[in-house]
Amino acid sequence: MQNQAKAKVATPVQSHASLIFTGAAIMIGTAVWAGQAFAQGDDPVTISHGYSNFGDVMYPADFPHLNYVNPDAPKGGEMSQWAQGTFDSFNTSTRKGTPAALATIGNESILVGTSDDPYGAYCYLCTTLEYPESRDWVIFNLRDDVKFSDGTGMTAEDVAYTFKLYLEQGITEYREVYSQFVKDVEVLGPYKIKFSFTEDAPRRDVVTWVGGTTAFSKAWFEKTGARLDESTDAPFMSTGPYLLDSVDIGRQIIYRKDPNWWGADQPLSVGRNNFETIRVEYFADSAAAFEGFKSGAYSFRQETSSKEWATGYDFPALDNGWVVKTELPDGSIGSAQAFVFNLDKPQWQDARVREAIGLMFNFEWSNESLFYGLYSRVNSFWQNSDLEAKGTPSTGEVAILQPLVDEGLLPASILTDEAVMSPVSSTIDRPLDRGNLRRASALLDEAGWVSGADGIRHKDGQTLDAVFLNYSPLFDRIINPMIENLTRLGVNAKLDRVDTSQYIERRRSGDFDLVTHTMTQGFEPGQSLRQWFGSEAADDSSRNIMRLRSAAVDRVIDAVVAAEELDDIQTASRALDRVLRAEKFWVPQWFDNKHKVAYFDQYRHPDALPPFALGELDFWWYDAEAAAGLKDAGAFQ
């Protein structure tokens, strides 16, 4: 979902599973050589506590805790945040219903990543993993002390059941991309499971893909009849630190720490999951939510409105010193937030038309007049990283792109032109840049969209319509100036603001012309790219909502997936970035390399945050003495 800086409804909990996995590995990557045996033949087998595609992982087998946590952080207290709209389900693995905030807070996976090691994955529900150099299979030696929330023990049968469940009932885009890569899942013992992979499975992804498996209780699923493809009124029973405590549908959710959680002393958990309760308050819109924060209805806010950040933080709780307002560093890849076109709509299938529409968004004016100069323009899907395409293609990029040019899948110009950059407006004192208007008009004329007597452009008896689907009032002031510019261009443009449930359903079904989308990418791109940009996911996807079908993009994704060495991955990713940007299926918006947060002064965090997470629900903690002082002073409702 959209907001003014980053696409979130509520800040997701940085649980062990969520840090690295979304079906396939995003921020992870050959292994720490803790031991070695030999499989049949001479294929050496690595036995280790962690896995990386690029040498040793950061943490040794005997590390006591993560470097960035406070191992002595006190436990207890409440963290409260907000979400917009409503919800009617706790299942994020179905297209049915509107999922609740933090619905996966109880999920844990076999391997997990950290917020300071972009390529490492570590045994969490396992003690060690074993795999041959060929990576034709992987064995996980599971811990024997992991418990589900009902006190029953987790076994290899549960893991095998969960993995197969996702391949049978998971979302379509996941099943279609990954079902072809697993040959067999074998339970070798109560706490030993083996995954074998097909010849076509991408070897760089396979270990971390299956290592991202969440553990659900087979007995619970069979007893309840629950399904991944149906909405649910409570989270699935799992092994994690938090349980659903109470729910007021559409208004409030409270999660409570499981007092019997098995993982409290696991080194990857020390100094984390510190709050007794996590409360989410729902508001109809961001304005109401901000008023709620000012009055103390909830206590932590990650600010996504530049206007509020620049002008709204002038209220008694801040003046009294009750609220902290600060900016914290964010070393993540810049969010690829943009308006995206629904490419199934006939009017958007001509790149010239898409380019013309994009010229009507005046970022420079918006940043100066609306955003108080706080943001930077997005140009790349891997903004501010080594994966971002810059200038003209390198020799390595040309080697990937040349065959596609020879086959007529890409224009020859992509071999010599600089990477496509977001259009720049020279006019910052008004929304309309007349130079860009003339360029856009010429593009539409060239594409056959001619202005009629009504001032609207027509082609083949159809008007050029552009409807922006939106749910947040915050975006009205951003979209409306663009609509005025488009109207001057002869486009029949309008804003269609709907409630959150309608917004989610219309994005899913493709009932939109343009909508805001954030295409979050990681430091080690792999198979998950097919879910974001692959043709196979275009018909039914929560990621490829622009319905991109490009043979050239598919081929370059193949090159990224096939790359083994980090240099080769970076080269192929730059080539992909270059091709994606040339497709012009997006109107890039903006990003921010700072976390803008405000919170009642009852929370503490490590002095130095890790580069890849804010972690307020992960490794921050509650200062009970400070909280008591705030309460006595009347800071809360």
- Share above pLDDT 90 across residues of the chain, in percent, rounded to a whole number: 86
456 pLDDT higher than 50: yes
Question: Reading across the β-sheet that carries 121-123, which strands appear in turn?
Answer: 50-51, 121-123, 111-112
From the CB of residue 4, how many other CB atoms can be counted at a distance below 10 Å? 27
What's the average model confidence in pLDDT over 306-330?
Answer: 96
177 pLDDT higher than 80: no
At residue 250, the 3 state secondary structure works out as coil
pLDDT of residue 25: 33
In b/e form, how buried is each residue of 539-567, taking b as 16+ CB within 10 angstroms?
eebbbbbbbbbbebbbbbbbbbbebeebe
pLDDT band of residue 541 (cuts 50, 70, 90) is confident
pLDDT of residue 558: 97
d(CA 380, CA 466): 24
What secondary structure letter does DSSP report for 301? Answer: E
What's the average model confidence in pLDDT over 341-364?
Answer: 98
**The pair of three-digit structure tokens given for residue 231, joined into one six-digit string:** 């909405």
Helix crossing, 551-562 with 395-406: angle to 10°?
140
What's the average model confidence in pLDDT over 59-73?
Answer: 98
d(CA 475, CA 623): 36
8 pLDDT higher than 50: no
Element (H, E) at 219: helix 218-224
Asked whether 34 and 61 are in contact (CB, 8 A), the reply is: yes
**The pair of three-digit structure tokens given for residue 534, joined into one six-digit string:** 């692959």
pLDDT band of residue 540 (cuts 50, 70, 90) is confident
10 pLDDT higher than 50: no
d(CA 583, CA 266): 46
**The pair of three-digit structure tokens given for residue 82, joined into one six-digit string:** 């907000």
pLDDT of residue 175: 83
pLDDT of residue 42: 64
pLDDT of residue 14: 31
What's the average model confidence in pLDDT over 263-275?
Answer: 98
pLDDT band of residue 174 (cuts 50, 70, 90) is confident
pLDDT band of residue 20 (cuts 50, 70, 90) is very low
What's the average model confidence in pLDDT over 344-353?
Answer: 97
pLDDT of residue 280: 98
Asked whether 53 and 119 are in contact (CB, 8 A), the reply is: yes
Asked whether 168 and 221 are in contact (CB, 8 A), the reply is: no
Please give the angle made by the CA atoms of 450, 456 and 459, to the nearest 5 degrees. 40
User: Which amino acid is residue 193, in one-letter code?
Assistant: I
pLDDT of residue 41: 55
d(CA 616, CA 14): 8
5 pLDDT higher than 60: no
4 pLDDT higher than 80: no
40 pLDDT higher than 80: no
What's the average model confidence in pLDDT over 575-604?
Answer: 97
Question: Which residue segments constitute the domains of the chain, with CATH numbers given?
Answer: 9-58+76-284 (3.40.190.10), 337-591 (3.10.105.10)
From the CB of residue 487, how many other CB atoms can be counted at a distance below 10 Å? 16
At residue 323, the 3 state secondary structure works out as strand
Q: Which of 15-19, 369-373, 409-413 has the lowest mean pLDDT?
A: 15-19
C-alpha neighbours within 13 Å on the C-beta side of residue 306: 21
What's the average model confidence in pLDDT over 182-211?
Answer: 96
Average pLDDT over the chain reads 92
If one compares 216 and 10, the residue with the highest pLDDT of the two is 216
E-strand ranges in 480-593 read 492-497, 514-518, 586-588, 590-591
d(CA 163, CA 315): 50
Please give the angle made by the CA atoms of 75, 82 and 371, to the nearest 5 degrees. 120
pLDDT digits (tens, 9 = 90+) for 127-142: 999 999 999 999 999 9
pLDDT digits (tens, 9 = 90+) for 87-145: 999 999 888 888 999 999 999 999 999 999 999 999 999 999 999 999 999 999 999 99
**The pair of three-digit structure tokens given for residue 565, joined into one six-digit string:** 């060495």
d(CA 170, CA 175): 6
Element (H, E) at 140: strand 137-142
Quick check: pTM over 0.85? yes
